Structure 1
Amino acid sequence: MEEKCRNVYQQIRRREYGVKKRPRSKFEILKTLVLDENYVYKEVWTKYSSKGIKTEGGRIYFENYTNCYGGYGRDNKPVHLHSLSTPWEQKIETALVASIQPEKLSLPHKGERPSFFCIVGKCWLMRFDWITGQLLEEVYLLPRTHCHFSDLSWNEPGASIVLRSTHKMTGCIRQVEADRPNVVKVLALFDVFPIRFTGMFEVTKSVFGDDTVDAMASSGFLTTMHRSGMVKLHSMEYILQKYKLYEAELYTRLQNQEEICGKQPCGLPLNIIIKEEPPVLFQVKCHQNSLEVGGCPWHFMYTPPRKEGSFHVKSLVSGQLAKNGVLKSEELGLDADRAQFCTDETGRILHIDSKSVSMHRIKETKSTKSEIEKCFTINLERKDKAQVTSTDTYTSSGRHVTRISFWSMIHMDVELPNMVIHNVDYEDELDLLWTSVDYFIADNDMESYLRFHDNNTGETIKEIKLAQPFVESMNEENEVKVDLDTVVQTVKSFNGEFACVVYRLQAKVEEQEQNTDKPRRKGAKLENNQPRESEDSSTGSQNSSRSRRAQRRSREGESDEEWTVPGSSSETRHSRRRKQRGTSERSSENRQTARQESRRRTKE
């Protein structure tokens, strides 16, 4: 296998001349710079806010999505791009960035521009231009007396979105259900590029079961969750084909009605009525409705009831438990263990415990039973652990008091790791796995690190120390997002204050300072001094020649004011001008006298 080129100059030349040109060549060049020892992620910008800070599509949103920051300004700092203004200054509940690949664009159309979808005032869906922040479309969903919308997500990524009511119903859309309100959720489906209303329907207890507590749409499935822990999957395509009554187009008059679709006062119609439970494609009973489907071949991963902390991986086709398919850690930690399918499209599984991150792959065997094989383990534990210390204080009366910190009290009964793993994710454009961890090095001191790991071996390639924007040693939330040469850290303190720290990829400052402070060579120093010495010598020679000429003219009886040389003083130049003016005046007087004498002689 040919080794990849690690030289940036050679990679640029190969891309220029088309040698082994690949679509990801520019990302490989940037990856080389990211992993280079001479380049680091440097903190360039910090901003605090009393409201939540969100990052969507590589941009940072403050004040409930109203102020947008991004791009590259002076010293690589993000700049204020635009402000979103909503009608009647209503609050933006949630938002979603939708953009399409340039090669998939058809004829120019505003509906295919990169858009920023958001739910405003719990009853409006608004689409803004992602680049300029201009309001492009607004759709009135439903009156607030019926339900509130506060959740927006992808149904099929890049194709359709789903809006979900997240508050308890205060009324019913259909008058039939008014006497016995049993609506669990209301879901509205839209296609994007351009935006098109697909349909809206209710999830009711009378159809899906009295113990139904929640419902959501994702990846073409309708998922219902029940109080008993049962999770059921239904086909969304089947629901649209069988229970959809009629098509409704936005901003047009509804069928056999006077109302306009997507406009006040009625909003969207309920054009999908589910009268009976659709066929169940898959169901499983799990703890806290934690279910994930993925892998290659298809498997599902869940936590069985009363087995918190363990994850079982089973085949989606046969339902058999895979060999070594129970992922469990015996270590205790402040946070519960997590397991998820890796987003690098390899079908591997990430298992995150209190000290390490393990990567597993699904291996097919000759029998019908698959096998879970561990690929590598990333140990994130540090050797130096937090010490249990106390602080001795004295009261005004002289009484001795020993105060123990909160972190030390936790360690008194149970030995817990002095670390918290916050984020584990995959950067698809750089093909790197990254982790962010907080370490408690003392009672009131904490350090945070971001590490890049090889996606195939788990080897730690680079480590970046993150800033601590708050004085508190522990934070409620610490979220990190990596986007090529930019790292965005969002921290929430226990007192409800938010902070955002932005890091940019830059060359090391030490090397730049060494280059500027580097002593010059002796030859260069002499050359730089030579012109100055020549100027001094020329000035001295001019002064000496001027003095010799002045002495010579004084011996001849002439005034010094009549002579000047280039580079002489201002007084000498002024005296020369006065001398010239006096001479010209005398010559003009002599000429006038001569003319008068000639006229007198002519008259005589």
Structure 2
Amino acid sequence: MVIMSDQLIWTCGKPNIALHLRDREAGFGKAPAYRRNCRMWRTLICDKSSVYKKTWSLTSKNRIYYIGDRLYLDDFRTCYSLNGLHAMPTIVYTNPDKSHTYKLEANLHCSAELNILPMVDGEHRPYVLGLTKCQNLIRIDLQTGQILKKIYLGHHHLCLKYMYLNWDVFQERAVVCSTQSKSAEGMMKSFVLFSVFPLEVIGHLTVTQQVFGADICNANVSDGMLIVMHRNDRVRMYNLDKIINEQNMKFRQRLGEVSQTTSTGTCSSSSGAVGSFPTGIPADIHITDRLHPLRDRLRLMACLLSGKHSEN
């Protein structure tokens, strides 16, 4: 058996894709896999003797999501498999149920690792965590498109609205972030933390001017830190786990259980279940004292651009 080198395959006239695939599988050649794949695609596409014809197309007014080997449309209500009947895209499901009308503001794809044991109600299966315009957090099963869980976040303040959904710790903890507010009560931003496997509420905290100062201009949660930005170009970072686990956590709450308190900000409602209307997710993390930051950077962006580091 004669084994041709990677260089010889591409220099002996017209490249032979079959030989190239064989050598890539056997691990011959020094070129990285990405470059080899690009060369194969270029050879196939730029071949003047190749003839292409349109076999299938799809258009949508909304976003089209590609996860695994599937396409998702209409906010995950419709799904197509790319490896369907006769090797053509085939519809897997379409959800005509209008009882769950929603429009997603943001979404996250949640996929458990193989070492996670199966949990009740199939919560180990991959799903999409979506934030709707009506302030609900929904769990959409990627296999069927059904809504397995719906959590009402609540309107805890007239000037706040939940619009952002991001990862705090990738595939472990998600955070729902509200818009900024400049109310008389000094409430700046609100954050609700969730564990994704299983989907449970961790805590709800608010960033206020009374605790972090009247000069705060923005705040965010990322990588286990609460990041607070001030108008004097100062950025302070706090340990989020320390905030959650210390005396700031006034009470523990679980989805579906009766809330211990529903008084949040200027709003108050009758006792109800956590995550359902009209209770939502009460604020159970109350920061009253000044916190000690992990990092305190002055003029952070200017220091990064100039290559200097200053700590104040």
Q: Please give the TM-score of this superposition, normalised by the length of structure 1.
A: 0.40
Letter paired with 2:277 = Q
Match of 1:158 in 2: 171
What does residue range 192-203 of structure 1 map to in structure 2 within 5 Å?
A: 192-203=196-207
Match of 1:107 in 2: 118
Greater Rg, structure 1 or structure 2?
1
Which deviates the most, 151-160 or 127-136? 127-136
Mark the CA change 1:73 to 1:227 in structure 2 (over 3 Å): closer, same or farther. farther
What does residue range 39-438 of structure 1 map to in structure 2 within 5 Å?
A: 39-40=44-45, 47-51=58-62, 53=63, 55=65, 57=67, 60-64=71-75, 66-69=77-80, 71-73=82-84, 78-83=89-94, 87=99, 89-102=101-114, 104-107=115-118, 109=120, 110-143=122-155, 146=158, 147-166=160-179, 168=181, 180-242=184-246, 243-255=248-260, 258-286=271-299, 303-304=301-302, 311-313=305-307
- Gaps spanning 5+ residues in structure 2: where? 7-18, 47-51, 263-270
Mark the CA change 1:108 to 1:7 in structure 2 (over 3 Å): closer, same or farther. farther
Give the Å deviation of 1:209.
Answer: 1.4
Bigger helix share: 1
Work out whether residues 122 and 150 of structure 1, in 8 Å CA contact, stay in contact via their aligned partners in 2.
Answer: no
Partner Cα distance (1:144, 1:89) in 2: 23
- Gaps spanning 5+ residues in structure 1: where? 15-19, 21-27, 172-179, 287-301, 320-604
Work out whether residues 56 and 96 of structure 1, in 8 Å CA contact, stay in contact via their aligned partners in 2.
Answer: no
Work out whether residues 8 and 29 of structure 1, in 8 Å CA contact, stay in contact via their aligned partners in 2.
Answer: no
Work out whether residues 200 and 270 of structure 1, in 8 Å CA contact, stay in contact via their aligned partners in 2.
Answer: yes
Work out whether residues 132 and 138 of structure 2, in 8 Å CA contact, stay in contact via their aligned partners in 1.
Answer: yes
Partner Cα distance (1:46, 1:168) in 2: 44
Give the Å deviation of 1:262.
Answer: 1.1
Partner Cα distance (2:235, 2:56) in 1: 44
Give the Å deviation of 1:269.
Answer: 1.7
Give the Å deviation of 1:31.
Answer: 6.9
Partner Cα distance (1:75, 1:38) in 2: 26
Partner Cα distance (2:302, 2:257) in 1: 49
Give the Å deviation of 1:8.
Answer: 2.6
Percent of aligned pairs with the same amino acid: 23
Q: How many residues align?
A: 272
Give the Å deviation of 1:263.
Answer: 1.4
Match of 1:349 in 2: none
Letter paired with 2:154 = L
Give the Å deviation of 1:108.
Answer: 5.1
Deviations 1:23-65 (A, max 9, x none): xxxxx878744432533498876555444x2536355554455
Partner Cα distance (1:275, 1:56) in 2: 44
Letter paired with 1:9 = R
Partner Cα distance (1:45, 1:7) in 2: 29
Q: Secondary structure, in 3 states, of the residue corresponding to 2:252? A: coil
Work out whether residues 180 and 218 of structure 2, in 8 Å CA contact, stay in contact via their aligned partners in 1.
Answer: no
Q: Secondary structure, in 3 states, of the residue corresponding to 1:39? A: helix
Mark the CA change 1:245 to 1:155 in structure 2 (over 3 Å): closer, same or farther. same
Mark the CA change 1:62 to 1:277 in structure 2 (over 3 Å): closer, same or farther. farther
Deviations 1:276-313 (A, max 9, x none): 23211113244xxxxxxxxxxxxxxx6318xxxx8344
Give the Å deviation of 1:166.
Answer: 2.0
Give the Å deviation of 1:230.
Answer: 2.0
Bigger strand share: 1
Partner Cα distance (2:140, 2:79) in 1: 12
Mark the CA change 1:259 to 1:55 in structure 2 (over 3 Å): closer, same or farther. same
Q: Please give the TM-score of this superposition, normalised by the length of structure 2.
A: 0.73
Partner Cα distance (1:208, 1:86) in 2: 44
RMSD (CA atoms): 3.6
Match of 1:508 in 2: none
